[in-house]
Amino acid sequence: MLQLNYIRENKDEVLKRLSIKHFKDGESVITKIIELDNHRRNSQKEGDNNKAEANALAKQIGELMKSGKKEEAEKLKLVTVELKQKEKQFDEKLKNIETEIHQLLVQVPNLPSEKVPAGKTPEDNEVVLKNGNKPNLATGSVPHWDLTTKYNLIDFELGVKIAGPGFPVYKGKGARLQRALINYFLDKAIAAGYNEVQPPILVNESSAYATGQLPDKEGQMYHTPVDDLYLIPTAEVPITNIYRDVILKENDLPIKNCGYTPCFRREAGSYGKDVRGLNRLHQFDKIEIVQIAHPEKSYEILEQMKDYVVGILKELELPFRVLKLCGGDLSFASALTYDLEVWSAAQQRWLEVSSVSNFETFQTNRLKCRFKDTDGKMQLAHSLNGSALALPRIVASLLENNQTPEGIKIPKVLIPYTGFEIIN
């Protein structure tokens, strides 16, 4: 959520940057917010003065009662009746205005950073790095959903029986490969200075609100109505919420956490080859890296996080590219995002395996995650996160790219974790 003060003082700048994000109705929403904010301040002033008057009278009455002047006290009581009625009206009016402002404010997306390329569609994203060669597969090579059946690694049908489509059952070397990847990703993150946490994978409404999933994206999350909890779509939600309502010290920053969790996404309504096999699932595993950063350092840190994920993809020997998302493709809460995509040789397409974003103060404003700077002033910290990495598409690419007539070769770096060199 944008800061009201910032909008008020930088209207033109806000509108200019919202237009890069292709936020429709920007002009009218922002104008309305500023107008309501003026009302808010006027109403509050009126209400506060009224309250000040009532407070002073109550104090006077108290003093009169104490010194035994009962009749005078009773007279003053009559005066307070009118003030009290007014107070109720002022409070109600203020509350209504504040609610209205809030409802508008949560609809406004984050402002894109100056580095965000203009553009509207995924085609306008800027390729900032390409690495590795696309393999030339032997004839007879097949997509991963055939390989997982051939080598008995994943049973999609069994998952349908137990839960439904999008809930695969990993078996044998398929399950062991999952576990190997999780451990490898966590060990890498720890070595890079991240603190490992195991958060809850169900969260309450306040948490989902603070990281921006609510009120907008209810439909994307599984919800348990009896207890009113949400299954997390990403570990970003619980890990970032560790810092909800927290005041940090300036030299605590940056704070680096990582965590492995299953992730749950409803993603209703798509079918076909885009979602076939491991391409899109309702439940999948992901290791997430999250940082709470000093505002002056957050973009430097975003580069480090992106480079960190690049390093892992290189070690896994997967061909990949890095995209800087254009304004139109940027998510609601993000100021700048890098997407990392691996090449899936048998499908002949790029698969997104990581998204690394700087949210600046968009999340921390809702989280109320602040720090006291050297001048003793409160400032909102910046929050960042990235996948490092999401498993299913890594597995898809790994299986497809490394298939040979003899079997699927495991990348060197993973062998200590899998305990086997080939799937055959």
Partner RNA sequence: GGAGAAAUGGCAGAGUGGUCUAUUGCGGCAGUCUUGAAAACUGUUGAGGGUCAAACCUCCGGGGGUUCGAAUCCCUCUUUCUCCGCCA
Residues near RNA, by CB under 7 A: 5, 41, 44-45, 47-49, 51-52, 54-59, 61-63, 65-66, 77, 80-81, 84, 247, 370, 372, 378
Which residue, 128 or 378, is less far from RNA as judged by CB?
378
Least gap, CB of 60 to RNA (angstroms): 8
Least gap, CB of 62 to RNA (angstroms): 3
Which residue, 77 or 412, is less far from RNA as judged by CB?
77
Least gap, CB of 173 to RNA (angstroms): 27
Query: DSSP E strands: which ranges in 132-273?
Result: 154-155, 169-170, 195-196, 202-203, 223-224, 229-231, 246-249, 255-264
405-414 b/e (C-beta count within 10 Å ≥ 16 → b): eeebbbbeeb
- Cβ contact 261:240 at 8 Å: no
Least gap, CB of 209 to RNA (angstroms): 14
How many other CB atoms sit within 10 Å of the CB of residue 310?
A: 18
Which residue, 265 or 294, is less far from RNA as judged by CB?
294
Least gap, CB of 278 to RNA (angstroms): 30
Angle between helices 391-401 and 173-191 (to 10 degrees): 120
Which residue, 53 or 124, is less far from RNA as judged by CB?
53
Residue 110's contacts (CB-CB under 8 Å, 6 or more residues apart) are 2, 21, 332, 333, 334, 335, 359, 360, 362
**Which own/partner pairs from 165-174 qualify as long-range (CB within 8 Å, at least 24 positions apart)?**
165/282, 166/267, 166/275, 166/280, 166/281, 166/282, 166/283, 167/281, 167/282, 167/283, 168/278, 168/281, 173/418, 173/420, 173/423, 174/148
Q: Would you state the structure tokens that stand for residue 383, as one six-digit string?
A: 């929050």
Least gap, CB of 348 to RNA (angstroms): 46
Residue 317 burial (CB < 10 Å; 0-12/13-18/19+)? Answer: middle
| Nearest alpha-carbon partner for 341 in 116, 176, 134 | 134
Instruction: Determine the Cα–Cα distance for residues 424 and 421; give it in Å rounded to an integer.
Output: 10
Which residue, 282 or 382, is less far from RNA as judged by CB?
382
Least gap, CB of 194 to RNA (angstroms): 25
How many other CB atoms sit within 10 Å of the CB of residue 165?
A: 13
Q: What does DSSP assign to residue 129? A: E
Helices (H), 318-376: 362-367
